[in-house]
A and B are shown apart, each in its own frame.
Chain A
Amino acid sequence: MSRMPSVFRVLLPLALLSCTGLILAGCKDASSNNSGASEVRLQGAGATFPNPLYQKWFSEYNKLHSNAKFDYQSIGSGGGIKQISSNTVDFAGSDATMTDQQLQEAPAELLHIPSVLGAVVMTYNIPTLSGTSLKFSGDTISGIYLGNIKKWNDPKLVADNPGVNLPAADITVVSRSDGSGTTAIFTDYLSKVSPEWKDKVGAGTSVKWPVGLSAKGSEGVTGQVKQSPNSIGYVELIYAEQNKLPYADVKNAAGQFVRPSIQTVTNAAAGSASSIPADLRVSITNAPGTDAYPISTFTYFLVYKDQKDQAKGKALVDFLWWATHDGQKMAPDLIYAPLPAEVVQKDEEKIRSITYQGSPLYKG
């Protein structure tokens, strides 16, 4: 042993340690399968936006039902869609609805179940105007992001903000570089209010931005807006709130300038409730209603209609029911907008339709 090269002397104990660790880990796995306790472990992944609320939900639900262990990781809406379609997770979260093609490519029928609502707000940093709330309209926002409106004191902006002393400075436009549901909602809204945007750029999780620079993540956009004077960006409401950035009122379809808040977002969902299709895939941007915030969105759970594992399927439907009912009460504390009653009803129908070998799983 003493003649062993020093490298081996280090590697051997390291290797032994690792192997022991791995064997122990393997044993643990075997024993937990035979434990007899009906612990059910479900893995989910997907949208980043609702993650803080989902973590709260899973933690609270686990306190009520200690045998159900849910885990959710935010890898993005697209990631969630891909993983559920590849059957590597039990359920997924997504801000964006799946396209017809994506649904067709999935191995079995997938259901969209709206879980909560959120808003994308326009945040800005104008040093000379700290404390003032600005007003934007679809016209001005699309103009800024298209590069047509270049300065803060552009006549269109001045017209929407009477009495505000907008500076004669260039606008630094900040967008998202990573594909995200936030971008999808924002560009969806712009496509509805601006034909030029729809034609030139279009909507999607990732688009070709005509002007400006892109930052990674909502955190990146927030950071960049905070650092750059005379800049504008779009982020989820919670980022603007937590980072104490000002955000603007936006003109909605009814011509009113609406302040983004939990209430106005729920109003947007309620306003579009009548036009929600049967599969619940809907865009609620630019929703009708006098007090509806125009850049609002559902976020969805994606689950298979026909579950392959009875225990997991049962735990899943029970959780979904709880989340769309009791769970909604926890949403406002974390600045998420709860579902309006009409949508909860539609969710109930969907949850009842989830089956295992033909018979519905939810009994309640």
Chain B
Amino acid sequence: MASSITPPNTYEPAGGPGPFPSVGARTRALFPSGFGDWVFKYSTLLFAIGIAGLVVAIIVSMAQNSTLSVAKFGWSFLTNTTWDPVHEQFGAAAFTYGTVVSSVLALLFAVPVSLGIAVFLVEQAPRRLSYPVSFLIQLLAAIPSVVYGMWGIFVLAPLLRTYVYPPIQSALGFLPIFQGPTNGLGLMTAGLILAVMIVPIVTAVSTDVLRAVPDTQREAAFAMGATKWETTQVVLGAARSGISGAVILGLGRAIGETMAVTMVIGNRPEISEHLFGPSYTISAAIANEFTEATSELYRHSLVELGLILFIITFVINVLARLLVWTVTRGQGSARA
């Protein structure tokens, strides 16, 4: 979204965003009320560390509960596509593939639509329309994932199987990703359901972020003769950091979703380039098999799958941050 209309960066203090260069210096400078500030700073720090500590605790707990499979399979666990509980052969490759592809598909569908809606609500719709509409969209977030799954099986999958996949397959069937079985349950369907599930959160946060971009930005762009869309591009550019936060929240939901995904993805642990065919994700596998895992090795393998999911989340988060940092470099965030 290249925009040649970027306001000059005169608003940011040289040290970057944040109220003061150093909290310690500031507290000392305000010594008379220093104690209250000290309490405030450290209690908020406590809570932040609390949450971070929880993550560490979960990882440690999972590491303790996956020692057997790590010991037995080592690195081959990551590349093996076999998942055979009876013969106790476990490998994560198929699930990793399914998780990454379904999440990427979900983002591909959800982010443009969410941003479109956010732009519509903030830039174009009259006020009286935008609040009820954004409220309705948040309602989508309240629907339990089980219900999304049932809707997927009974409404979406048959619809796709009958009206959507066959035409795509006949038109674009020369591409391997569109070949293969089309009975409705598969990666694409899962990606679509996930997209519907993450649109509310991405939209809601993006809407708030866009609303907070000061009108001076818009006015400046209009004053220079920009069309409505070009102004919107400016606003989007200003809101990039917040939008990336929204996308990360949405991605988190997509990766961790269990119920809805397992009902529509076909649950077949194999890597296949056919997007319409069945697949399997890590969360779905854990949800399906954890309570019934009969042996310790089985259970440890499932927990190891969970650890791999953590790693996937880490990696995607790092990549998302790198992307945001590269793209926002040189473009200041707009704050008066």
Contact = CB atoms under 8 A, between A and B. Distances in A.
A adjacent to B, CB under 8 Å: yes
A296 to B, nearest CB: 20
A94 B294 CA distance: 12
B153 A179 contact: no
Nearest to A81: B294
A287 to B, nearest CB: 23
B293 A179 contact: yes
A102 interface: yes
B238 interface: no
Interface of B: 82-87, 149, 153-154, 157-158, 183-185, 262-263, 266-269, 278, 284, 287-289, 291-295
Contacts of A156: none
> Which of B82, B87, B287 gathers most chain A CB within 10 Å?
B87
Nearest to A231: B183
Contacts of B157: 227
A214 B294 contact: no
B179 to A, nearest CB: 16
Contact of A213 (B158, B268, B289, B292): B268
Given A216-B267, A220-B153, A227-B157, A178 B292 contact: yes
Contacts of A201: 86
Contacts of B287: 178
Given A180-B292, A206-B292, 8 more contacts: A172-B183, A179-B288, A204-B85, A208-B85, A213-B278, A216-B262, A216-B267, A223-B154
Nearest to A226: B154
Contacts of B269: 208
Contact of B86 (A77, A78, A207, A227): A207
Interface size class of A (residues with CB under 8 A): 35 or more
Contact of A207 (B85, B183, B266): B85
Contacts of B263: 215-216, 220
A214 B267 contact: yes
Contacts of A223: 153-154
A76 interface: yes
A236 to B, nearest CB: 16
Contacts of B293: 78, 179, 206
Interface in A215-256: 215-216, 220, 223-224, 227-228
Contacts of A82: 291
A205 interface: yes
A1 B290 CA distance: 50
A214 B266 contact: yes
Nearest to A228: B183
A224 B152 CA distance: 11
A209 B94 CA distance: 14
A214 B262 CA distance: 9
A178 B288 CA distance: 4
A362 to B, nearest CB: 31
Contacts of B268: 209, 212-214
Rank and list the top 7 A-B pairs by shortest CB-CB distance, nearest first: A179-B292, A78-B292, A177-B267, A202-B86, A214-B267, A79-B291, A178-B288
A77 B292 contact: yes
B294 to A, nearest CB: 6
A216 B149 CA distance: 10
B294 A204 contact: yes
A213 B82 contact: no
A99 interface: yes
A48 B185 CA distance: 25
20 contacts: A101-B295, A102-B294, A177-B267, A178-B262, A178-B288, A178-B292, A179-B289, A179-B293, A204-B85, A205-B85, A206-B85, A207-B86, A212-B268, A213-B183, A213-B267, A214-B278, A215-B263, A216-B262, A224-B185, A227-B158
B43 to A, nearest CB: 16
A75 interface: yes
A319 B62 CA distance: 39
